[in-house]
Chain A
Amino acid sequence: MITNKYLITILLIAFFSVGLFAQKYTISGYVKDHSTGEDMIGANVYIKEISKGTVSNQYGFYSITVPKGEYIITVSYIGYIDFSKKITLDKNIRLNIQSKPNLIVAKEVVISSERTINIESTQMGAVRLPVEKIKVLPAFMGEVDIIKTIQLLPGVQSGGEGNTGFYVRGGGPDQNLILLDEAVVYNAAHLFGFFSVFNADAVKDINLIKGGMPAQYGGRLSSVLDITMKDGNYKEYKAEGGIGIISSRLTVQGPIKKDTSSFIASGRRTYIDVLMEPFIKEDAKAKGSGYYFYDLNAKVNYKFSDKDRLFLSGYFGRDVFSLNNKDAGFGANIAWGNATGSLRWNHLFSNKLFMNATLIMSDYEFEFGAEQDNFEFKLFSGIRDYNAKIDFTYYPTVRHNVKFGINYIYHIFQPSSVTAKIGETSFDTGGIIKNYANDVAIYVNDDFDLTDKLKISAGLRGTLFQQIGPFDRYVDNELGQAADTVHYDRGENVELYKHIEPRFSMRYSLGMKSSVKASYTQNYQYIHLASSTSASLPTDLWVPSSSLVKPQFGTQYAVGYFRNFNDNIFETSIEVYYKDFQNQISYKDGAQPGDDVGQNADNSFVFGSGESYGVELFIKKRLGKTTGWIGYTLSETTRTFEDLNFGLPYPAKYDRRHDISFIATHELNEKWVFSFVFVYATGSSLTLPVGRYIIDGRIINEYGERNSFRMASYHRADASVTYKPENKNKRVYSTWNLSVFNLYNRHNPYFIYYDTEGSIAEGNLEITATQVSLFPILPSITWNFNF
């Protein structure tokens, strides 16, 4: 609580120090891409004379208030020509800046002498990735994947071979807040995690925050992955797309009214099922079985005036799997996916106060249906959110950047519900159970210069979470059986949690080239993902905090040293973090999905805590013909559950001692771009039986300590070549991307299983371990076009 008081004091001082200075004027406006009219997020807007600046927000807006005078304003953004203009500030100025892409990228490096954002800002543990850089990296089966690129950053671990699950600084997969145009995406994976749901053609900006989370974000312990969709081209109609080995993509965009309104629509679908269809015989047993997934993104926006803008955007994606076995009279149909929609209104109250009001719907559904003869079985689970929020950004002076706002979410959880019937007879399986909750957050955050060297970002986030009825609590007896039921009516309070989350980070400048940063954050998370298997499956359940499940609570401490070399060509950093997790959940030993049927899902959970600490090293070459980075993470992550592993701490599933990634892109000339990726990670931990004994004449396995065994280490190299042929007809531009995944054909372990030979009765039982590897060397080719 002492920390809280301290932070409040700092915030108050910060507020009252505003406006104590002389006559001031504001220069504000939007930063846009000259050729498409798209807003540019995170552009560095800088005033040389006072060595201060700001960064354009998520809608491209910036505002700087400084004393009257003459200044040179510079706007820089990687891959764009620096914009500089001399201004006389004797009144408030509106300056919309159109930055031009630096097409002849490699020829000449324009060196900005100002401090770069990584040295200047208080934010640590954050990375912003331009989508165009991702597109030339080697793509697994030709699919450009945003999340797989995120996994190459230090402090971010992958979920395993080909898996898009990601684990940030020892946090679980449910502790990442994944936002697509401010709407939460609950399951970012297609095909059990081999592909992510984000179609890179529709994405403009990717921002990952893994530490020092500012107060405007919350509800998750470990990270924020904030993805912004393109707005659509304001200048001209464009179509782009690609044809790959497993899927095709098409995006169309253009102005509805030039410079005022635009749209974008983007789709992607896999076609393994379509390609296979003609080769499956009509009378084949499995006729009608198949798998595909698709994604649709769409967005329109309208600029009413320089002060008001409206955005409507949506995402819809599904995985569909059908399985048929004629002989057995068996059929199954599985479909899952996300749907999001957001309506946003940007309003400028003044040139210092920016507002964004948003209405969001976010939905994740999983449905499994099976039929055998006249027996029908259906299982559903999912989560749906209705969300309204208002966010303000206030730029009182150049020294302050204040953010405040309020956020309300109505959650509807649907843990596993089953319906079953034989012919016309239905079974009583407890019916469809839903849980409801109110989730409110209010926050304020100020990012301000305390002295010329010391910059502080301090914030508070107040959160309230209330589970409400209708709800039936099954009260278990000591034997784990539902012995009693407590009923709550619609709207009745079931459980209420309230918490204050302090967020604090600071930067101390050690000159133009280097700085030291530190951060301390507390986060509460009121929703939990329960996984009963060792793999991430779409069946994993989202459950609310309840009387049994306490909100997850995380504390993170981090310090870092940031330094640039060679005129900011190289950015380097070293960060050390320590993280503590409370109220983590896990299924009881041996629990299976569906044990919850006719029960509260949380009755099958056990509770514990976790801990993670590590060092992250990052060296990035940001400019020049060759760009890329090296990331290294040394870390340890453990979990402690009273009811698991005899109460002793054990390594988390995603604990990796060493994690190295190396990424390089070389632009030889305008036609050829080469990329190379190498990753190395300590092997995954798993639990294996160490002993056996005999009960009832059968072999029983005696398991060793949880996750005490390590599979072989994971390493892999990928390479790609992107070729842009000379453009002859000047209408269609095309590029070819040839990627090779797993260059040296490493057999990385996916899982290990045991093979048993002989029988115990015949006295010749022998067991061998077999390692399964997923992907050998896999070349792929994609043809991309735009016109």
Chain B
Amino acid sequence: MKVFTKILILIIASVIIFSCEKEVTVDLPRPEDRIVFEGSIENNQYASLIITRNTAYFDVVDANTLVDMVVIDTSAIITVTDGIIIDTLQLGFDFNGFIPIKYAGSKLKGEIGKTYTLNAFIEGNSYSAVTTIPQPLELDSVRFKYNNPDATEDSTGFLWLYANDPPVLGDYYKIFTKTINKDSIFVHPFNSVTDDQFFNGQPIELGVSRGYNPASGEESDQSEEDIPRWMFVKGETVVVKFCTIDAKHYDFWYSIELQNSSDGNPFAAPVTIKSNIEGGALGIWGGYGVTLDTIFIDESVIVD
């Protein structure tokens, strides 16, 4: 459907042969200062949380301002609890992350089916958020399909995940992959979340492209070997991280991906990003029910 909107824009653009463009100064009000949370907890993992702040729209983002966006408040108190144990998160370094400073837990590991509450006291304000780790869904199999099955010299393609959606409506999934020796972290495809609205209780087939690591600067479409960035290649070993998430967690990522896809479309209605943080902050506190599968892409997993 997005294609459809884009075609319409193309038509309008081609019709408007007289149009002209000029740079203008837009006098925007400064946004209210807000704290941005990006936190998660997975089964068998400690909680992890990045805290940043927003900036004015036209502020240049460079190394210096990026540092300013990271909230470092030594008097901040950040806790995660399952209702019994309280884990106080500690500030530390994460050299793989785009933001290299994050808070991490050390006492409480995520458990399937449990609810976790985040409480944060930062710069004089209190925030809270609640998430759950839903029951993970085991994949039946992971396969590989050639992008172009007829061309013999082309060994690129996409992964296909097969599973059976549980009978009750209201399952939400998010997908990550990590190509061994190529990706340093788990990356997600451009559209990484889906709900079971159209396949509730039925077998699922999900095509997966390769995402990029924002910290590595590989935003360009081509990687070094002239292979498109979003393709998997025969001979690679890929770890698939298939996650179930709760509804509010899904709404957040869905709104993010919707905004990305309508970015630059002047006719699209603006997309406001959802959040599950109480207290006037932006962002997400989300639980993941994770299953991991590893696939070596060879003839045995290729399907037409």
Contact = CB atoms under 8 A, between A and B. Distances in A.
**A, B in one complex:** yes
Contact of A695 (B2, B34, B38): B38
Given A694-B69, A704-B29, A776-B20, A751 B271 contact: no
B267 A368 contact: no
Interface string B203-225: 00000000001111101000000
Contact of A774 (B16, B38, B198): B16
Contact of B214 (A697, A771, A772): A697
B26 interface: yes
Interface in A465-514: 477, 479, 481-483
Interface stretch (A60-68, A227-235, A448-456, A685-693): A685-693
Contacts of A697: 97-99, 213-215
A688 B213 CA distance: 28
A694 B36 contact: yes
Contacts of B282: 693, 702
Counting contact residues on chain A (CB < 8 A from B), the size range is: 35 or more
Nearest to A766: B60
Contact of A693 (B7, B36, B169, B264): B36
Given A477-B169, A481-B170, A771-B21, A191 B56 contact: no
B197 interface: yes
Contacts of B22: 747, 770-771, 773
Given A690-B31, A704-B29, A533 B198 contact: no
B111 to A, nearest CB: 24
B227 interface: no
A323 B7 contact: yes
Contact of A690 (B20, B29, B66, B260): B29
Interface string A732-746: 000000000000000
Contacts of B283: 693, 695
A763 interface: yes
B260 A698 contact: yes
Interface string B6-26: 011011100110111111111
B102 to A, nearest CB: 13
A533 B21 contact: no
A20 interface: no
Nearest to A482: B197
B54 A593 contact: no
Interface in A413-434: none
B266 to A, nearest CB: 4
B196 to A, nearest CB: 8
Interface stretch (B152-160, B251-259, B296-304): B251-259
B20 A773 contact: yes
A619 interface: no
B53 interface: yes
Interface stretch (A34-42, A46-54, A583-591, A664-672): A583-591
B148 to A, nearest CB: 12
Interface string A697-724: 1111111101011001000000000000
Interface residues of B, number: 78
A479 B217 contact: no
Contact of A323 (B11, B63, B270, B284): B11
Interface in B62-109: 62-63, 66, 69, 97-99
A61 B99 CA distance: 80
A594 B18 contact: no
Nearest to A777: B18
Contacts of B19: 750, 772-775
B4 A691 contact: no
Interface stretch (A259-267, A544-552, A623-631, A754-762): A754-762
Contacts of B169: 477, 479, 481, 483
B5 A593 contact: yes
Nearest to A765: B61
Interface in B19-59: 19-26, 28-31, 34, 36, 38, 52-59
B1 interface: yes
A767 interface: yes
Contacts of B239: none
Contact of A759 (B5, B219, B255, B266): B219
B18 A776 contact: yes
Given A590-B258, A770-B21, A761 B219 contact: yes
A749 B26 CA distance: 12
B273 interface: yes
Contacts, number: 221
A776 B170 CA distance: 53
A591 B16 CA distance: 27
A784 B104 CA distance: 79
A778 interface: yes
A691 B55 contact: yes
Contact of B266 (A323, A698, A703, A751): A751
B134 to A, nearest CB: 13
A106 interface: no
Given A590-B272, A593-B5, A765-B61, A691 B36 contact: no
A595 interface: yes
Given A761-B219, A770-B22, A776-B18, A704 B36 contact: no
A697 to B, nearest CB: 3
A694 B216 CA distance: 16
B55 A532 contact: no
Interface stretch (A340-348, A398-406, A534-542): A534-542
B264 to A, nearest CB: 7
A332 B6 CA distance: 12
A587 B269 contact: yes
Contacts of B15: 191-192, 194, 291
B270 A703 contact: yes
Contacts of B272: 589-590, 703
B4 A701 contact: no
A706 B4 CA distance: 25
A594 B1 contact: yes
A381 to B, nearest CB: 12
A706 B270 CA distance: 9
A110 interface: no
Nearest to B264: A753
Contacts of A316: none
B271 A594 contact: no
B62 A763 contact: yes
Given A481-B197, A694-B36, A765 B11 contact: no
B18 A775 contact: yes
A701 B52 contact: no
A700 B28 contact: no
Indicate the member of A370, A697, A708, A751 with the most B CB atoms within 10 Å.
Answer: A697
A592 B257 CA distance: 13
A32 B224 CA distance: 81
A633 to B, nearest CB: 26
A539 B10 CA distance: 15
A771 B24 contact: yes
Nearest to A592: B1
A534 B24 CA distance: 20
30 contacts: A291-B11, A332-B7, A533-B268, A587-B269, A593-B1, A598-B198, A687-B270, A689-B57, A690-B56, A691-B55, A692-B56, A692-B57, A694-B99, A698-B260, A701-B57, A702-B57, A703-B272, A706-B270, A708-B29, A752-B24, A753-B264, A760-B214, A761-B98, A761-B214, A763-B62, A763-B66, A765-B61, A769-B23, A772-B19, A773-B21
Given A533-B269, A695-B284, 14 more contacts: A590-B262, A594-B1, A691-B31, A695-B273, A696-B256, A697-B99, A704-B29, A747-B20, A750-B19, A752-B26, A761-B217, A765-B62, A767-B57, A778-B18
Interface of B: 1-5, 7-8, 10-12, 15-16, 18-26, 28-31, 34, 36, 38, 52-63, 66, 69, 97-99, 169-170, 195-198, 200, 213-217, 219, 247, 255-256, 258-260, 262-264, 266-273, 282-284
Interface of A: 191-192, 194, 291, 321, 323, 332, 334, 368, 370, 379, 477, 479, 481-483, 532-535, 537, 539, 587, 589-595, 597-598, 687-704, 706, 708-709, 712, 747, 749-754, 759-776, 778
